Amino acid sequence: MYQIFIGSLILSLIHALIPNHWLPLIAVAKTGKWTQSRTLWATLITGFAHTLSTILIGIIVGLLGYKLAESYSLVSGTIAPSILIALGIVYLYLDVRSHHHHHEINPLVTGASGNKSSWIAILTSLSLAMFLTPCAEIEAYYFQAGTLGWTGIFMVSAVYLLTTLLVMLILVYLGIKGSRTFTSHFLEHHEKRITGIVLLGLGILALVVKF
């Protein structure tokens, strides 16, 4: 269980730090001249929309791992870790192929617009875009966690939700304050490499250290 917690926390932190999750919010907020309060609320809502779709899919994936684990003991010890390792290799391959691939949500505001109706329209669009792009990295980990039943599924969901929202709020707050105490350049261009290495490490650890 400790291993599941640490793995979930690491993947959630990496996921939340990826610039395309929070940088568009800063750009839209500055263009639309949003207040700090309105920007942070937008971050919370869009972040929740993103995590919600990921968790819903993750529960299904986790239940699949749980059902298979009931019938085949090798799932938790071999198959689930192997999936993490395979996915890690895929991410490393994608990083080699494209060092600059990332999906950004284009700001929908072209001028200063601080009215409530405009804010709601933009917020709805951003939330929908975030909902439709669930985190594939954590989905694979749900399969591993699912071998521990509902406890594992709940732990991954709780850690992922809280970590993602907290880190997004902190980064957006620093961004709207004009802080330069953090850099996103490396993560922006090497997110797949980092994710791949982490997934490989978690998979190998799961193979070596049995629950």
What does the pLDDT look like over 14-26, one tens digit per residue?
Answer: 878 877 778 888 8
More confident residue, 192 or 2: 2
pLDDT band at 52, cuts 50/70/90? Answer: very high
Q: How many whole angstroms from its chain centre is CA 113?
A: 30
What is the DSSP secondary structure assignment for residue 78, as one 8-state letter?
I
More confident residue, 113 or 18: 18
Cβ atoms within 10 Å of 48's Cβ, excluding its own: 17
Spell out the residues 6+ positions from residue 58 whose beta carbon is closer than 8 angstroms to its own.
Answer: 138, 139, 142, 153, 156, 157, 160
As a whole number, the mean pLDDT across the chain is 76
Amino acid at 84: L
More confident residue, 202 or 105: 202
DSSP-H helix ranges across 132-177: 136-146, 150-176
What is the DSSP secondary structure assignment for residue 75, as one 8-state letter?
I
pLDDT over 50 at 109, yes or no: no
